[in-house]
Amino acid sequence: MTEAVHRVAPRGFTGDQWDAFMDEGFLVFEDALTPDEVAYYLNAVDELAASDPNRRPDRTHTPGNVVERGKVWADLIDHPRHVGYPYDVYGELLKLHMSQVFIRPKGGSHNIWHPDGARGVPYGVFSPELPLQIKVGYWLTDLPRAKMGNFVYMPGSHRTHYMQGYDTHESVPGERIVTLRAGTMTLMHASLWHRVEPNESDVTRKNIFYAYCPSWICEGDRHRSSPEWLETLNREQRIIMRAYSGAYTRTKPPAEDSPLFLDRETGEASDPEADATVALHRQKRQTWVEKRMGVPYNGPLSHVFESRRPGDSPAAG
């Protein structure tokens, strides 16, 4: 009965896309935006920049928590073009980690090699396989060659906790300098090592990054969203912001936030294996990725991760 008011999870990964994402740490969707959509978002980026009295056109400008800056930005929180991909990984505990706009003019600052997430003890120590953040990128300017403020990454480096070049701008053998057309969408595994090219061109690079994580990871660009602004959101957007007053509520969300989405295949709020005597918000809901990895609904995890046990590696032997 309640199901009628809930949305089915939007489209997410195909098996091949997931395998490519996990192999490379990065996935590219060309022509994800139409030219009109590119123009729409470019206009919103320019309005955002113009509204900041501290912005210097010759400096890199990276406003955060942009979701609170207008409907165009709030609409991206649960946009069906991309939200199904992080939902496939974080499922019912999906949260928006941060929303950012990047404006990188000629000569502006550019980032050194780093992975996203925790320093010192990186995310990968606890989650060697799955990303604890996924960054969705929308690219609004053509970047046909290097030295245009391009995103640069080391393919497959999301499986390492350290790499040559850390903390430097150095070009490292094997790196990939991303060239793309305006309208491209990208997904990045948070543990992927990346840097940014200097911009020596006359094109100001403009793009949008919305990062997602499980709700129990801390927010990246806010402590708590404004309650008045939350009132303006639809149900799914409000849930995905996870603006709870109780700290532990992030870990154990309230009953009214379940389901976030209905299952894409079955259209149901519960998994077929679920124990119907357990309240919906306390039920286990398997993610698409768990199913893809062959994680059993209620069995041991050991067979899934068997090959990764330290005792199995030749180096440990």
Ligand X SMILES: O=C(O)CCC(=O)C(=O)O
Tally of CA atoms within 13 A in the half-sphere of 94 that contains its CB: 31
If the CB atoms of residues 100 and 270 are measured against ligand X, the closer one turns out to be 100
Q: Does 116 bind ligand X (CB under 6 A)?
A: yes
Which neighbouring-strand residues pair with 205?
104
* Look-up of token digits 């793009």: 207
Q: Which of 143, 180, 185, 196 binds ligand X (CB under 6 A)?
A: 196
| Residue placing its CB nearer to ligand X in the complex, 191 or 287 | 191
Q: Greatest CA separation found in the chain?
A: 63
> How many residues belong to the chain?
317
Pick between residue 111 and residue 249 the one whose CB is nearest to ligand X. Answer: 111
Query: Shortest gap between Cβ of 291 and ligand X (angstroms)?
Result: 30
206 bridge partner residues: 103
Q: How far is the CB of 151 from ligand X (least distance, A)?
A: 4
The count of residues interacting with ligand X (CB under 6 A) is 7
Does residue number 113 form part of the binding site for ligand X (CB under 6 A)?
A: no
Answer whether 10's CB lies under 8 Å from 84's CB.
yes
Q: Any contact of residue 111 with ligand X (CB under 6 A)? A: yes
Among 194, 238, 242, 285, the residue binding ligand X under the rule CB under 6 A is 194
Residue nearest to ligand X (CB): 151
Binding of residue 45 to ligand X (CB under 6 A): no
Nearer to ligand X, 147 or 308 (CB): 147
Tell the burial category of 279 from Cβ atoms under 10 Å away from its Cβ (0-12, 13-18, 19+). Answer: exposed
DSSP codes of every residue in 242-279: T--SSGGGGTS--GGG--SSB-TTT--SS-TT--TTS-
Q: Distance (Å, rounded) from C-alpha 75 to C-alpha 283?
A: 29
Task: Name the residues that contact ligand X, by CB under 6 A.
Answer: 102, 111, 116, 151, 194, 196, 209
